[in-house]
A = this chain, B = another copy of it.
């Protein structure tokens, strides 16, 4: 890492998308400060993946922040609502899925903004994607643009003319296959990433929306799926 690199806060869940985003941030010359959350998710095994990925890819610092979104639930990921399995593509394209966690990305980006402001960083990376799975409202380009606008009103930076926050969402318009190809070109080892919403130990279920989309991405990219399934 070059000490002249610009600092950037990178949201890192430990999944395929955020890991690719971290690799892109590094490739673009940023010094990444990785931020992960133990938020009461069923798939908390992803936190271990995030730790290993942050260490292997090399980050300036990694925080895992504990917050309790299971306090009010409202999602299959944070309550006893079952994670849906074997949904068709048509089902997935219809409405907001029950795996949506209310305001999760807004909370994550707010923390990223707080840390960025303390660091003096103006760049935030998030691995949201609106192509292969647009059911989440907080993964849309208009959402990211609205958060960027908010960030520049919320902080001292705007008042003191220090700089302008940019929220980077480099995967926004890519298919899952394009994301995988880009990550592989940057040397990402996807066997280290965790995607499944309903894992058994370290093994992916293979049937939740996240598993299905991930697997289809590897198939479409024409590369072997390194995921270990139940």
Contact = CB atoms under 8 A, between A and B. Distances in A.
A40 to B, nearest CB: 12
A59 to B, nearest CB: 15
A109 to B, nearest CB: 8
Given A113-B103, A149-B146, A150-B146, A118 B73 contact: yes
A229 interface: no
B95 A155 contact: no
Interface stretch (A21-29, A156-164, A196-204): A156-164
Copies in the assembly, this chain? 2
A159 B114 contact: no
A102 B114 contact: yes
Contacts of A73: 118
A209 interface: no
Minimum-distance CB pairs A-B, first 7 = A74-B118, A103-B114, A102-B117, A96-B156, A107-B110, A106-B110, A103-B113
17 contacts: A65-B68, A65-B71, A66-B68, A67-B67, A72-B118, A74-B117, A96-B160, A100-B156, A101-B114, A102-B118, A102-B156, A107-B114, A137-B154, A138-B153, A138-B154, A140-B153, A143-B154
Interface of A: 63, 65-69, 71-74, 95-96, 100-107, 109-111, 113-115, 117-119, 137-138, 140, 142-143, 146-147, 149-151, 153-156, 158-160
